[in-house]
Each structure stands twice: as structure tokens, then as C-alpha cells.
């Protein structure tokens, strides 16, 4: 997922539920983490070793006492072989699910200059495809760390223009209606060259590898 731009000295992004979001997101993450960990037969010590994080931090997350960074949750999700959204969303309880705009949890970084709203709800079978509505503030640059090998990504620009850089490739300027498909196991950079907010949809498809 997104990381902060070190050039601007900003902090690593954490989950922001938005103004009307429920305050139970840490509890949801903790419940999901414990359910997935125990289902796969991992002790806290073993999962901590697989994910490269401390046992104490995992314990705090499971008990809802810590709001983890996106970077840390990505490590845990990859160790479990699930998507990031599987850790942060309530399991679907019915066939049709309405995602109310102002109550959906957001991924937010750089003081809200980049936001991503999940447009899906993963089931307990663990989602392999993630669909996001993303907003880039005017002149903002957002960098994404490489995903696990085999992960693919697609974006389509809905409003404004977005400059896309994938790995060492030359930047591509995408206008409204333009789409791009690419590997996500390298760094990707989205930059809004315009003076107004850009809106795009982003689909991340994992390779189905289980941990």
C-alpha cells in the first residue's frame, strides 16, 4: 500500500475511519488477526517471526490496544497469505452489502492528500482482489512500496490527470478515461500534475499464494 514520501518528512500512514466511521476499527483488526492466526495454527511467536515484527506488537494489535501502520499490517497480511483488506474489514454477513460513503474506513496518508476507500468487503475466504476509490490532492505525489511477487494492479482515471511511474519505466501521463495495467511487485508512483484533485479507481489482484 501507500507509504509516505520521505522527501517531505511525512509520517507513515495509519488507518483513518473518517468523520462518521465507527471507532471499533482497532477491535476489528484485532479480531480478524486472531481469527486468521489461530485458523492457520500460528502462535504469536511464530507469526511474529514470519512477519518480521515483534510479538508484543502483535499482541497489542490482537487486543485492540494499538493502531498499526499500514506498512506493519502489510507485513502481517503477507505472512498470513491474505489481503490487507481482509485484516481491516468486517466479514460479510449477507449477500448484498451497502458501503455508505461517509462511514467506510479510509486508507489515508500525507495529511489526507492521498486517500483510498475500499469498494468491497472481503469474506472469511480471504479476498484476492481489492478495489479502491482513490483521491490525489493537487500537485501531490504518492509512492507505493512493492507488493508480494506476482501481484498485479490496474487503474483508471475518472477525473483529472495522473502521472504513473512503474519501477524504472518512464512516467506515463493518464487522462480521464485512460487505464493502465502493470505488475505491482515494484515501486509505483502516482503524481497529480494538475491544480485540482484527481480521482481514480484502483484494482489490486494478488497471486493467490497462501502462507
What pTM did the predictor assign?
0.57
Residues 209, 81: contact at Cβ < 8 Å?
yes
Query: Tens digit of pLDDT for each residue in 31-55?
Result: 999 999 998 989 999 999 999 999 9
Give the start-end residues of each E strand in 66-140.
106-109, 114-118, 129-136
Tell me the CA distances in angstroms from 87 to 36, 39, 141, 189, one per residue in order. 9, 14, 26, 24
E strand residue ranges, the chain: 2-3, 15-16, 106-109, 114-118, 129-136, 141-144, 152-159, 162-166, 172-174, 179-183, 188-191, 198-205
**Cα distances (Å, whole numbers) of residue 104 to 30, 99, 176, 205:** 18, 6, 25, 21
| Whether the predicted pLDDT of 62 surpasses 50 | yes
Task: Please compute the mean of the pLDDT values over residues 120-137 and round it to a whole number.
Answer: 76
Task: Look at residue 25 in the predicted model and tell me its pLDDT.
Answer: 79
User: Which residue segments constitute the domains of the chain, with CATH numbers given?
Assistant: 21-88 (1.10.260.40), 94-205 (2.60.120.10)
d(CA 207, CA 160) in angstroms, rounded, equals: 31
Amino acid at each position: 500500500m501507500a507509504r509516505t514520501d520521505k522527501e517531505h518528512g511525512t509520517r507513515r500512514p495509519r488507518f483513518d475511519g473518517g468523520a462518521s466511521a465507527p471507532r471499533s476499527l482497532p477491535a476489528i483488526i484485532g479480531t480478524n488477526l486472531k481469527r486468521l492466526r489461530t485458523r492457520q495454527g500460528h502462535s504469536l511467536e511464530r507469526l511474529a517471526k514470519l512477519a518480521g515484527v515483534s510479538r508484543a506488537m502483535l499482541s497489542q494489535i490482537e487486543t485492540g490496544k494499538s493502531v498499526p501502520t499500514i506498512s506493519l499490517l502489510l507485513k502481517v497480511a503477507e505472512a498470513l497469505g491474505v489481503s490487507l483488506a481482509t485484516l481491516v474489514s468486517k466479514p460479510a454477513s449477507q449477500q448484498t452489502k451497502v458501503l455508505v460513503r461517509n462511514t467506510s474506513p479510509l486508507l489515508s496518508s500525507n495529511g489526507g492528500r492521498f486517500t483510498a476507500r475500499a469498494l468491497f468487503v472481503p469474506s472469511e475466504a480471504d479476498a484476492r482482489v481489492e478495489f479502491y476509490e482513490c483521491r490525489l490532492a493537487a500537485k501531490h505525489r504518492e509512492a507505493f512500496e512493492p507488493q508480494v511477487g506476482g501481484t498485479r494492479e490496474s487503474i483508471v482515471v475518472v477525473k483529472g490527470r495522473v502521472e504513473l511511474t512503474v519501477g524504472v519505466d518512464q512516467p506515463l501521463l493518464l487522462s480521464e478515461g485512460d487505464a493502465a495495467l502493470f505488475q505491482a511487485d515494484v515501486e509505483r508512483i502516482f503524481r497529480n500534475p494538475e491544480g485540482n484533485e484527481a480521482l481514480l479507481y484502483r484494482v489490486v489482484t494478488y497471486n493467490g499464494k497462501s502462507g
